[in-house]
Amino acid sequence: MSNSGQKGTNFDQWLDSYAARANALSVSEVRALFAVVSRPEVVSLAGGMPYVHALPKDLIARSFETLMADRGDLAIQYSGGQGDLKLRDQVRELMALEGIKSSVEDIVMTTGSQHGLDLVSGLFLDKGDVVLAEGPSYVGAIGIFRHYEAHIEHVETDHDGIQPEALKETIARLKTQGRKIKFLYLVPNFANPSGVTLAEKRRAKIVEICRRNKILILEDNPYGLLYFDKKVPDALRSIDENVIYLGSFSKILAPGFRVGYVLAPPAIREKLVLAQESAILCPSMFSQSMISEYLSNSDWQGQIDTFRGVYRERRDAALEALAEHLPKLSTTHPDGGFYLWITLPDGIDSKAMLPLAVKELVAYTPGTAFYGDGTGHNKLRVCYSFPTPENIKVGIKRLATVINLQTELLETFSKKGATK
Amino acid sequence: MSNSGQKGTNFDQWLDSYAARANALSVSEVRALFAVVSRPEVVSLAGGMPYVHALPKDLIARSFETLMADRGDLAIQYSGGQGDLKLRDQVRELMALEGIKSSVEDIVMTTGSQHGLDLVSGLFLDKGDVVLAEGPSYVGAIGIFRHYEAHIEHVETDHDGIQPEALKETIARLKTQGRKIKFLYLVPNFANPSGVTLAEKRRAKIVEICRRNKILILEDNPYGLLYFDKKVPDALRSIDENVIYLGSFSKILAPGFRVGYVLAPPAIREKLVLAQESAILCPSMFSQSMISEYLSNSDWQGQIDTFRGVYRERRDAALEALAEHLPKLSTTHPDGGFYLWITLPDGIDSKAMLPLAVKELVAYTPGTAFYGDGTGHNKLRVCYSFPTPENIKVGIKRLATVINLQTELLETFSKKGATK
């Protein structure tokens, strides 16, 4: 049991003691960027932070006051492992907005939807199992699947989301190889990192293909309510009750509470609660209660409208700047959420380019972070949720400088190569 | 890959899909008691809830107000995976009270110390690895070790804590058997469930034995500051920097925030942060900030004194009632914390007796919950932290009725058996 990342050093005396799964841990490319983000002169299009400044703090204060007046002692006590019953009932209403019918019994509150994904993955993934995912896919999910030593298989994804035909072919190929496919993980709405939405006509097909092949679907939907114009199609969970649905308050309220939720079929939900009790005893009652009060006493739908307006303006700023400064570049055109996805000319490596971008005072996330198979070199993610529209324009102008320089260099070199 | 707990039912269509670790999940005996606890006519000596009513809620309100005035937007945003720097610095001071010298760099804030224990266990435990633990040991830790498919080996423990000689012998025996011992887990102060404290003269010995055998120590110390008369001996971590130390705000402030911390050697801490980022991205900044403000702006040491007084009075009530109603029974005499541990006459099964106790309107936790090896049938845990002193007396009187009846029955039957 060696630790390949640290071979050659004698500093860690526990090197031979780690579990196999500890060797799968590596510093994520997104994490390394946190330090860069904090420098005020850099326009960061990297991190995926919601713009919490658009949330009036008096709404939080009101939640706190009513909570402490009403049930302060309960809010700071241990609670049940499944989460607060009242909040679970409110979550039902939230999910109903995307066509989901559910029972409070089948909802589990989690420490952000990230922990929901971690716990569900822990229930299913043995070493070598296959997880199907969009290509590209959420970096935090890839990290979890790697941690459980699973193999991530990306399925061809286009502007309408994951392709049903490609899914069918991938499943058939893997089955022929005798691989054990445990689930399909996807972010159907304004996906992280691509910004694309799974087309309505594809949803039933995806569900049907997975049902036929007895493959569980994990539908991760933190952005669905943040549409800019048109409501998103109903959730995959609304088509099939066997879909595991992951939701979060991080983007429609605030991530600092760390509150998400999982809706799962009863047999799985039962195990999920046990896994949660093992991992953390219970989710924070204080955080849950604050959110429950917020949903009870504030115009939370109006607040989501406010967020939509903020992010729409920023998406527009990003697309306008791209059209102005990088007109030839291929990008996605998100109808909601935080992200857009840029494909650079072949031969430009977004990871190698990042230090040059930071020198130009702009940051982004390199494409390789969003693939479990080492691809994505000529892709990059732009997150427009946090900087102001003005800064987004400045950032994309800087990005254009770097990309245009790289493109020129590439063309010069390839011409030279051609004349040799 | 069968799921033994659910064999014979066809309801769970994913039965063949679960990971091996999911089969280790089972409903804990403590969990089943939550429903009982909530009935007001039952005196519950079962759950391990702190008496948060003794915390003035205006202290929480003050923390909230200063926090929101000062850095509301930061408090509700994502934060770093290692936890808030300011709070980590305050944690340093807290640990210094038990003789620990530390750097903020080596502290990781966690979702209660339970998640710290889960994450550390995940870093080290492969299937079949051995964890050494006190006998009895914390039920939540046993659950985690089982979840990682480890083997729990209890080491003889007496009124002075874990026995150094027994530890030495256990290690030698296991090594002869070729077993891989990953760590020793212990709660050195006012242990859950026994209430005993590891004697000062044993501490250096335990550390030395583990160091010589290259066995990591996990020192879990949620109760150390809740001593009734005399300060506890310095932490094992103060003797050896390779000890992993787990702390919590659940008992000295409130558990509803779900904030704990881990102090670990740099190489381990580095992996711990990565494991945490994989599992939850980051711990709740809102909870962390609330606690940081509380530590900055309130007399938290005075509040711990208040808690000490509350729990001392309850410990006294429990011991007095036991002396009055069950004078012959063997119990521990805790000098702090929440628990005392009762040994019933041989032949009485505390788990079988529980329904009778509940019928008499008193609840406790059966001893078997605190052993990973199926022993502990004639033991039970009394938790005196939550009921009032009056109710504790009522509860123990009821408990005495049940135990005395069982003892009589046992004696009658064994006499009958003898005369046959």
Q: Domains in chain B, ordered, with CATH?
A: 18-55+302-415 (3.90.1150.10), 68-297 (3.40.640.10)
B375 near B349, Cβ under 8 Å?
no
Compute the average pLDDT of residues A31-37: 61
- pLDDT of B1 over the 60 cut: no
The reply to whether residue B22 touches residue A283, judged by beta carbons under 8 angstroms, is no
Q: Quick check: helix, strand or coil at residue B131?
A: strand
Q: How far is CA B25 from the centre of its chain?
A: 19
Indicate the pLDDT class of residue A30, thresholds 50, 70 and 90.
Answer: low
Reported as a single tens digit per residue, the pLDDT across B198-245 is 999 999 999 999 999 999 999 999 999 999 999 999 999 999 999 999
- pLDDT of A93 over the 60 cut: yes
The reply to whether residue A286 touches residue B281, judged by beta carbons under 8 angstroms, is no
Dihedral sign computed on CA atoms, order B335, B340, B343, B344: positive
Reported as a single tens digit per residue, the pLDDT across B155-206 is 999 999 999 999 999 999 999 999 999 999 999 999 999 999 999 999 999 9
Q: In whole angstroms, give the CA distance from residue B397 to residue A250.
A: 49
Predicted local confidence at residue A417, as pLDDT:
55
Range with the poorest average pLDDT among B36-40, B47-51, B81-85 = B36-40
- pLDDT of A377 over the 90 cut: yes
Compute the average pLDDT of residues B2-27: 71
Dihedral sign computed on CA atoms, order B391, B394, B399, B400: positive
Shortest CA gap B72–chain A (Å):
7
Predicted local confidence at residue B415, as pLDDT:
75
Compute the average pLDDT of residues A287-301: 97
Predicted local confidence at residue A8, as pLDDT:
43
Q: What tokens were used for B39?
A: 């009935």
Reported as a single tens digit per residue, the pLDDT across A152-182 is 999 999 999 999 999 999 999 999 999 999 9
CA angle B225–B231–B235, rounded 5-degree value: 70
- Closest residue in chain B to residue A25, using alpha carbons only: B274
Indicate the pLDDT class of residue A7, thresholds 50, 70 and 90.
Answer: very low
Indicate the pLDDT class of residue A129, thresholds 50, 70 and 90.
Answer: very high
Q: What tokens were used for A176?
A: 């022929």
Predicted local confidence at residue B296, as pLDDT:
97
**To the nearest whole percent, how much of chain B has pLDDT over 90?**
88
Disruptive mutation site among A37, A38, A78, A216 for chain B (greatest number of B CBs within 10 Å): A78
- pLDDT of A12 over the 90 cut: no
Higher pLDDT, B384 or B33: B384
Decide if the complex's ipTM is over 0.90: yes
Reported as a single tens digit per residue, the pLDDT across A63-77 is 999 999 999 999 999
Cβ-Cβ pairs closer than 8 A, A with B, add up to 233
Q: What is the pTM of this model?
A: 0.95
Residues of chain B numbered 304-333 and touching chain A (CB < 8 Å): none
In this structure, how many other beta carbons lie within 10 angstroms of the beta carbon of residue A358? 19
Higher pLDDT, B138 or A27: B138
Predicted local confidence at residue A4, as pLDDT:
41
Reported as a single tens digit per residue, the pLDDT across A215-253 is 999 999 999 999 999 999 999 999 999 999 999 999 999
The reply to whether residue A115 touches residue B21, judged by beta carbons under 8 angstroms, is no
Compute the average pLDDT of residues B269-281: 96
Indicate the pLDDT class of residue B5, thresholds 50, 70 and 90.
Answer: very low
Disruptive mutation site among B1, B9, B57, B76 for chain A (greatest number of A CBs within 10 Å): B76
- pLDDT of B57 over the 80 cut: yes
Nearest one of A139, A57, A307 to B69, comparing CA atoms: A57
In this structure, how many other beta carbons lie within 10 angstroms of the beta carbon of residue A7? 8
Mean pLDDT, rounded, of chain A: 93
Indicate the pLDDT class of residue A47, thresholds 50, 70 and 90.
Answer: confident
**To the nearest whole percent, how much of chain B has pLDDT over 70?**
94
The reply to whether residue B268 touches residue A214, judged by beta carbons under 8 angstroms, is no
Mean pLDDT, rounded, of chain B: 93
A152 near A185, Cβ under 8 Å?
no
Compute the average pLDDT of residues B343-358: 94
Contact of B75 with chain A, judged by CB distance below 8 Å, is answered with yes
Indicate the pLDDT class of residue B252, thresholds 50, 70 and 90.
Answer: very high
